[in-house]
A and B are shown apart, each in its own frame.
Chain A
Amino acid sequence: MAATIPSIACLGVIGRNNNPLHITIFPSYDPASNTRAPLRTPLQFSLLLSSTLDIFETRARRAAPSATGGAPAAAASSTPLLTGDFGLLHAVDERLAAYGFETNTGVKFVAVVDMRGRFSPAAAGSGGGGGGGAAGIRGGVGLRETELRVVFRAMQNAYVRLLQNPFYDPDEHAPLVLPPGGGVGGKKITSRKFSEEMRRIGEGWAPGVTNL
């Protein structure tokens, strides 16, 4: 098996009405042909992102009862969900795993990680064969949930910056009150800057990266 390290296969931004705002797909390394190609089709990634929404919902509901209990003591004793970091949402197969984050405004970021997505020359050179984790570089197993935090932080920065753009109208994308005609809403993010930022984040991340 070639020496590979995890990489991001897909980044998704999902609006508050569970509408897709942005999806970027990144190619994975294929050791057989020594090329980089997306692991799944765009439709499959889209379905994968959709399937994470249920997990977001169940976890949010599990966190909610402490608040609806009403008594402040109860809310204080049970640890409230402090950050919007949902960690690992689900592992799709031995290669793909989805991690999630939700902002206080209800925007969800999902990062699909390919555990063997990138060829690592360092691992190949020093490892000289062996299993997934060769010589110092952590392999496919045991990716820590906190390692994706830097990705979500960068994504949130990009999203905040997008909202500071006066030409971006959030109500065209995820309106709070759906208009009766259903005329507007559900648009995708078309900002080129935002797309480039997503691409940069996805390509720049590797396990252990602390700054994006």
Chain B
Amino acid sequence: MSSFDQPLPPFNASDPNASFLSTSCLDFLMIELVPMAYRVANELDAPESAGESNSSSSNNNNGSGETTTGAGASVGPHTKLEEDEERDAVFFRLDGLGYRVGLGLVERFSRDRPRFNDTLDAIKFVCKDLWMLVFKKQVDNLKTNHRGVYVLTDNVFRPLSRMSADPGGHAVVRAQPFLWFPCGIIRGALAAMGIAATVQAETNELPGAVFQIKTVPVKQ
């Protein structure tokens, strides 16, 4: 639906390199990306730690049948990552992917723009321009304590806007991983503008999302 809309600013009419793609692409990407990150985290990270113990305790100790089934199911009984560990591994993976995307996005879209004189300028660029580019709307609310913490509230966060679950289906918990890739994008975008930051996100009610940016003071 929205893909047939006229492109709105910050699309720049005089930009010869402008290219457009359907807004659904990000939705489709996220649908694949989050489960993929879980799969990769389980398949890649788990055997790594398990591989050490396997090689040290020699392979033929375990029944060969058991190891093959363990590899096939990708999670053996003892290779199953702890929940926290898995969460961290997936977060790290998605955040890293988003980080690289954010770096590229800012390099591409920060040109022909006024310079960012301070951190607030950069954050505003993220809230207005970058949010518009990636999520098709602007951030609804920006708060700061003027000491390096910025809280961005989006009441209808696009990647969460189509999610629904049965009552008691832990929708909020299950939606959480879908915020990690955007977290990485924000972190990468700020990094490209010279601001080291940590970004955390949470959702309290579905389609809203709250991003907390903590900038790390860098000595100039």
The residues of A with any CB-CB pair to B shorter than 8 Å are 16, 63-64, 66-68, 75, 80-84, 103-106, 156-157, 159-160, 163-164, 166, 169-170, 176-177
What is the CA–CA distance of A205 and B100 in the complex, to the nearest angstrom? 33
Contacts A67-B117, A82-B114, A103-B111 given: A163-B104 contact, CB under 8 Å? yes
Binding site for A on B (CB under 8 A): 17, 100, 103-104, 106-108, 110-118, 191-196, 216, 218
- Let me know if B117 and A163 touch, CB within 8 A: no
Known A103-B110, A105-B107, A164-B108; contact A80-B192, beta-carbon cutoff 8 A: no
CA separation between A28 and B129, bound complex, in Å?
43
Show 14 A/B contacts (Cβ-Cβ < 8 Å), sorted by A. A68-B117, A80-B117, A82-B115, A84-B115, A104-B106, A104-B110, A104-B193, A105-B192, A105-B194, A157-B17, A159-B107, A160-B111, A163-B103, A164-B108
CA distance A164 to B103 in the complex (A): 9
Instruction: Knowing A164-B108, A177-B218 are in contact, say whether A105-B115 is a contact too (CB < 8 A).
Output: no
Q: Which of B112, B118, B194 contacts A16 (CB 8 A)?
A: B194
Residues of A close to B195: CB separation below 8 A: 176
Give complex CA distance A15, B196 in Å: 16
Is A105 in contact with B117, judged by CB distance below 8 angstroms?
Answer: no
The reply to whether B196 and A163 contact each other, CB–CB distance below 8 Å, is no
Q: Are B107 and A81 within 8 A (Cβ)?
A: no
A104 contacts which chain B residues (CB < 8 A)? 106, 110-111, 113, 115-116, 193
Known contacts A164-B104, A176-B194; is-contact A80 B115 (Cβ 8 Å): yes
- CB of B194 within 8 A of CB of A163, answer no
**Among candidates B17, B115, B196, residue contacting A176 with C-beta atoms closer than 8 Å:** B196
> What's the Cα separation between A80 and B121 when bound, in Å?
13
Partner of B194, one of A66, A75, A106, A169: A106
Q: How far apart sit A75 and B121, CA to CA, in the bound complex (Å)?
A: 12
Docked-complex contact B106 and A105, CB < 8 angstroms: yes
Give the complex CA separation of A75 and B114 in angstroms.
12
Contact B110 A80 (CB under 8 A): no
Report the separation of the CA atoms of residues A88 and B196 in the bound assembly, to the nearest whole angstrom.
Answer: 32
Q: How far is the CA of A160 from the CA of B194 in the complex (A)?
A: 17
For residue B29, give the distance in angstroms from its CB to the closest CB of chain A. Answer: 14
Min C-beta distance of A149 to chain B, whole Å = 12
A166 to B107, CA, bound (A): 14
Chain B residue at minimal CB-CB distance from A80:
B114
- The answer for the CA separation of A163 and B112 in the assembled complex, in Å, is 17
Report the minimal beta-carbon distance from B153 to chain A, rounded to whole angstroms: 24
CA distance A63 to B115 in the complex (A): 10
